[in-house]
Amino acid sequence: MFGYAVFVAALAMFLPYLFLIQAAFAKAWGRGFGLENISLRNFHFVLFEHGTAAKSVLNSFVNAGVSATSVVILTLGVAYIVTRRLVPFGGILGFLCIAPFVIPGVVLAIGFYAAYAPPPLALCGTAPILILAFTTRFLPIGYVNASAAIRSLNPEMEEAVCVLGGSRLTALRRVVAPLLKRSLLGAWLLIFIPATRELSAAIFLYGPNTKVASVMIFDMSEEGNFEYLAALALILQVLTLPLLWIGQKALGRDFMLRRTAT
C-alpha cells in the first residue's frame, strides 16, 4: 500500500518536478544531471535581462490578488443575502454566481473581449479587463465556499446580537466576519493560487503592459526556451508556496473557532 502511494506521488509530483528543477538550473536541459551543467544563468536572464518576464510575474500576482479579494467580498455578500433570505428570489442571484462554472475560459474571454473591447469602454489589454475576467471565472469557487461557510453558522448567533440591541451590520462585523475569517482566507487562497496560473482567459485579454506569467510561459514554450520557462515557473512556485504555508498555519492556529456552533 505504502509503496503504491509513494509510486503515485512520485509519478504525479516528484518526476515532473525533478525535471522542471533540472531544466531551470541547466545550461542546456538535454545534457542531463551533471554538476558541470548547473548554473543560475536562466534565473538571471528571466529576472533581469528579459524585457517583460519579471513584470509578468508581478502582473500575475497583482491581478490574482485583486481578483481573489473582490471575489471573496462579492460572494460573501451575495451568499449572505441568499442564505438568510434577505431579498425575494435570492436563489437566482446565487445561480448567477455559479453559472460561470460551465463556461470555458476561452469562451468567457471572447465574451469579455466582445463586450469591453470596443469603445466607449475600450478596456482591451488593460488590467481592469483581466481582473474582471478573473473575478468572473472564480466567482463560482468563491460562492460555493462562502455559502457553505454561512450555512455552517447558526442564524441564532446573529439573532442573539439583534435581541441585545445590535443591528445586522453589528452582527456581521462582530460575529459573522470573525467566525468566517478562517474559511474566507481559505477561499481566498483557493482562488488566488489558480488565478496566478490562469491562461485560457488571459491569453485573449492581455496587452503589451499586462502580460501575465502564464502567457509568458506559454510564449516561451512556443519559442522552445525550456530552460527559461522552467526558471520562470520555478520562481512562480517559490513565490506561491510560502502563501500556502502561511495560510495553513493561520488556519490551524485558530483554536477559538474549533467548535463553531452549527
Partner 1 sequence: MSKLVLKNVARRYGAVEAVADFSLELVPGEFVSLLGPSGCGKTTTLRMIAGFVPPSAGTIDMDGRQISSPSSVVPPEKRRMSMIFQSYAIWPNMTVGENVGFGLQVRRLSRGEIDRKVDAILDVVQMRNLKGRYPAELSGGQQQRVALARAIVVEPEVLLLDEPLSNLDANLREEMRFEIRRLHDEFKITTVYVTHDQSEAMVTSDRIVVMNKGRIEQIDTPHVLYARPRSRFVAGFIGRTNFLEGSRQGSEVRFDGFSAAASALEGANGTGGLLYSLRPQAIGLATQKPNGGVLAVEAEIAGRSYLGEYWDYQVKPLGAAKPLRVSTGPNAVFEIGTRVWLEIDPSAMVRVE
Nearest approach, Cβ of residue 166 and partner 1 (Å): 5
Sites of contact with partner 1 (CB under 8 A): 154, 156-157, 159-167, 170, 174-175, 178-179, 255-261
Q: How far is CA 67 from the centre of its chain?
A: 8
DSSP label at residue 165: T
DSSP label at residue 186: H
The values of phi and psi at residue 154, to 5°, are: -70, 125
Q: Give me the residue label for grid cell 522542471.
A: 20
Report the residue number, 114 or 163, with the smaller CB distance to partner 1.
163
Report the residue number, 167 or 209, with the smaller CB distance to partner 1.
167
Nearest approach, Cβ of residue 174 and partner 1 (Å): 8
Report the residue number, 167 or 248, with the smaller CB distance to partner 1.
167
Nearest approach, Cβ of residue 152 and partner 1 (Å): 12
In 3D space, the residue among 138, 131, 137, 130 whose CA is nearest the CA of residue 207 turns out to be: 130
R_g (Cα) of the chain, nearest Å: 22
Report the residue number, 22 or 170, with the smaller CB distance to partner 1.
170
Report the residue number, 46 or 176, with the smaller CB distance to partner 1.
176
Query: Distances from the Cα of 97 to the Cαs of 119, 128, 146, 177, in angstroms?
Result: 27, 19, 11, 21
Nearest approach, Cβ of residue 253 and partner 1 (Å): 14
The values of phi and psi at residue 179, to 5°, are: -75, -25
Nearest approach, Cβ of residue 169 and partner 1 (Å): 11
Taking the C-alpha atoms of residue 129 and residue 124, their distance in angstroms, rounded to an integer, is 7
